[in-house]
Structure 1
Amino acid sequence: MKYVQLGKSGLRVSPICLGTMTYAEGDKGNHPWALDEKASRPFYERALAAGINFFDTANVYSAGTSEEFLGRAMKDLGADRDSLVIATKVHGAMGPGPNQRGLSRKAILQEIDNSLDRLQMDYVDLYQIHRLDPYVPMEEILEALDDVVSQGKARYIGASSMYAWQFAKLLYLADLHGFTRFASMQNHVNLLYREEEREMIPLCRDQGIGVIPWSPLARGRLAREWDTDTERSETDQFGSTLYLDDSDRRIVEAVGAVAKERGVSRAQIALAWHHAKPGITAPIVGATKMRHLDDALASLDIELTDEEMKRLEEPYRPHAIAGHG
């Protein structure tokens, strides 16, 4: 495995991040397709054996059970904690109370402790705000995150989907007040949704921020023929609102054509596109079948030609902003 820098930070991560929303108690959230603990364990084992050191979860994934599964897997498999990069997130509702959600100082300081308890770890490597909270002053958010780092509970901080002007303001305020700066941006990027290329990715490149896209396979649409349904596609409420434009179909067909010519899977081509894009550090890949993880690893060995990149990108048409809320 060839490791890469997370932006201009000193943190080195595998160019594939294993997303663990898929590994949780499916009846404790909106993810009925999630694998239970026993079924998920081989994926952690395979990832570690392949050299993946980067794992992403969130407190809100199936009421915290994703964090629990991840923590126990790393412990039971004897993973070297010093070699791991564990990322989790804060923002979503974790209870019925008015302060059990969002990014208030109270919520952030409470939720980092709750996440560490579930992970059975003393610290996380990357603590991310899952979305921006418009009801909390940015200075309050930044100061609380700075305290999390100062207390040794997180090594770095990251952000997720928002408008570029909002992220630029956060970076400015962090510099102004001497708070810990964001090291990463986890945003919505794939061949079917490239709006982040307009402002967010150029901002991140300019500021030395690592980009770790979520949904790099567009909820699986890039990995199969357009009209094929899966259990997830039939139950994924959020995903059902994305990728419906006619240009999306033409892109999926282009992925299929390039994959057929190469003799590889569609997923390998769609992920290889990420590896070829300047500014993208590591796409976050979910896997419910072992071939999903094998495809992600195999994509690292594919170098797309300029002509192939053009074929994949040419059908794209502007999309409405999706994923910021």
Structure 2
Amino acid sequence: MSSKMEYVRLGNSGLKVSRLIQGCMAFGSPAWEGSPWTLGVDEGLRLLKKAYDLGINTWDTAGTYSNGASEATVGKALRQFAIPRSRVVPAANDGALVNQMGLSRKHVFKAVDDSLARLGTDYIDVLQIHRLDRETPPEEIMEALHDVVRSGKVRYLGASSMYAWEFARLQHVADKNGWTKFVSMQPFYNLLYREEEREMLPFCAATGLARPNRKGDGGGGAAPTLREQTDVKSRRWNETANPAIVDRVEELAKKKGVSMAVLATATEERIEEAVQALSVKLTEEELRYLEEEYKPREVQGM
């Protein structure tokens, strides 16, 4: 692996992860949910090997991505390229649909076992709850997550996409009962959506939680891609974004001699260019220039 990559602790935990995280949602099958931006297995394998060679050892996948094909691709990469399990940090996401998905005790245990089978490994470094299951009691959710950690199948817990008060409640339930708490929160946060600065980000900072971003490029809005052009949900969401911000990203990207994706995100799109993000420095004046056109938006609890 490259020695140029930076590694940081995941919040207050002892786990170290690469500063850049390889998102694996696009690996699996182009037939998944009619998403032509999804790459096939061979292309996914090639990109995972490239990410590993560049020092990106943290891979974010989920059982819902391509109906499990994404996790299977990650597992195949570990075997095909003889990558030592101890050298990578797979983060698996647990979804939120009824019984087959969600955060009931029944599904949490099944989802972990299914992910382990697809990954071909005996433990998951970080189990992230992909979406909050609002029908299952917080106590059941946190006890089930605690028990899979105690079983040895999961090392750490992370969360993603919910209201700050909901996240604080889950942490409180775990703390009150002596159960395992989350070490990270993956919010929807980027130049086009900054509402997490109201409550979620301050909460994470105050409690020592890591904050890996989700959709750092605004789902393609801040750096237009094939996905942004073909994904109906991304297109619909970005139609309400401020185009002036996108124009300023493009302007500064040209000034810095990098692609728009480098300024907008360091985790999705063009792996080699993403690594450049570690060396691209923006001045306070440039940051203000990118941010000053932002208009408040409706808070997304996902």
**SS state of the match for residue 57, structure 1?**
strand
- 219, 224, 230: which is aligned to 1:235? 230
Contact 1:91 1:102 in 2 (8 A): yes
Quote the Cα distance in structure 1 between the aligned partners of 2:203 and 2:122: 32
Contact 1:190 1:215 in 2 (8 A): yes
Quote the Cα distance in structure 2 between the aligned partners of 1:181 and 1:58: 20
Q: 1:262 aligns to what?
A: 256
Quote the Cα distance in structure 1 between the aligned partners of 2:148 and 2:236: 35
Quote the Cα distance in structure 1 between the aligned partners of 2:268 and 2:263: 16
Deviations 1:146-183 (CA, angstroms, capped at 9, x unpaired): 01100011100011100000111111111100010101
Quote the Cα distance in structure 2 between the aligned partners of 1:91 and 1:259: 35
Q: 1:167 aligns to what?
A: 167
Contact 1:30 1:62 in 2 (8 A): no
Deviates most, 261-270 or 175-184? 261-270
Quote the Cα distance in structure 2 between the aligned partners of 1:141 and 1:317: 35
Greater relative contact order (Cα 8 A, min sep 6): structure 1 or 2?
A: 1
Q: 2:244 aligns to what?
A: 250
Q: 2:138 aligns to what?
A: 138
- Aligned residue type for 2:268: G
- Aligned residue type for 1:15: R
Q: CA deviation at 1:187?
A: 1.4
Q: CA deviation at 1:234?
A: 3.6
Q: 1:29 aligns to what?
A: 33
Quote the Cα distance in structure 2 between the aligned partners of 1:13 and 1:259: 27
**SS state of the match for residue 128, structure 1?**
strand
**SS state of the match for residue 52, structure 1?**
coil
Q: 2:268 aligns to what?
A: 286
Q: CA deviation at 1:30?
A: 4.4
Q: Percent identity?
A: 43
1:90 and 2:61 correspond: no
Q: 1:211 aligns to what?
A: 211
**SS state of the match for residue 238, structure 2?**
coil
Large movers: runs of 4+ above 2 Å: 28-32, 230-235, 243-246
1:53 and 2:57 correspond: yes
Contact 2:75 2:119 in 1 (8 A): yes
Deviations 1:74-124 (CA, angstroms, capped at 9, x unpaired): 11111121121110111244xxxx521211000101110011001111011
Quote the Cα distance in structure 2 between the aligned partners of 1:265 and 1:28: 28
Quote the Cα distance in structure 2 between the aligned partners of 1:28 and 1:223: 23
TM-score of the two chains, using structure 1 as the length reference: 0.88
Contact 2:268 2:274 in 1 (8 A): no
**SS state of the match for residue 295, structure 2?**
coil
TM-score of the two chains, using structure 2 as the length reference: 0.95
Q: CA deviation at 1:232?
A: 2.2
**SS state of the match for residue 300, structure 1?**
coil
Contact 2:96 2:132 in 1 (8 A): no
Contact 2:245 2:290 in 1 (8 A): yes
Q: 1:110 aligns to what?
A: 110
Contact 2:30 2:36 in 1 (8 A): yes
Q: Where does structure 1 lack aligned partners over 5 or more consecutive residues?
A: 225-229, 272-282
1:9 and 2:13 correspond: yes
Contact 2:32 2:38 in 1 (8 A): no
Contact 1:31 1:62 in 2 (8 A): no
